[in-house]
Amino acid sequence: MSRAKRRDTAAELGLRRELHALGLRYRVAFPVPGQRRRTIDVAFTRLKVAVFVDGCFWHGCPEHGTRPRSNSEWWNAKLSTNRARDRDTDRVLRELGWFVIRLWEHEEPRAAAMRVRTAVLLRRDGDDPTPGSLGRDDPGRTDQ
């Protein structure tokens, strides 16, 4: 697990490239306030929009997430803990007034960037985006 990239993955870089092309400026690996060792992948700090690009394996994508066969009990616990941490991080950020967007690593970067742009523009204009209209529609996740 120490070899797994924590940031600057291909999916994150693709999203950031598209966001930059759309004229959006953001912070990378921004610390989650009050939470040690938790960071927001892409943060729009003034508008309080947090974007996470979740890996299909590590966060249990229903389309592409796999479970190792060897040591399966340990892996099941590990991956469940990851999802619980995601939900807790989302809760903390929402309580602090942030809007949270979670994307899967397999999502097309341009489409994902357009969803993020919509949220940023709505927040800038004083409107609150509705989670279902921007985030992934995934019944397996309850963190949106």
CATH of domain 10-31+46-134: 3.40.960.10
Cα distances (Å, whole numbers) of residue 91 to 12, 37, 107: 22, 16, 23
List the domain boundaries for the chain.
Answer: 10-31+46-134
Cα distances (Å, whole numbers) of residue 65 to 22, 83, 116: 30, 12, 23
Q: What is the pLDDT of residues 102-142, one digit of tens each?
A: 999 999 999 999 999 999 999 999 988 876 666 554 433 43
What global pTM score does this model have?
A: 0.88
Q: What is the pLDDT of residues 43-77, one digit of tens each?
A: 999 999 999 999 999 999 999 888 888 999 999 99
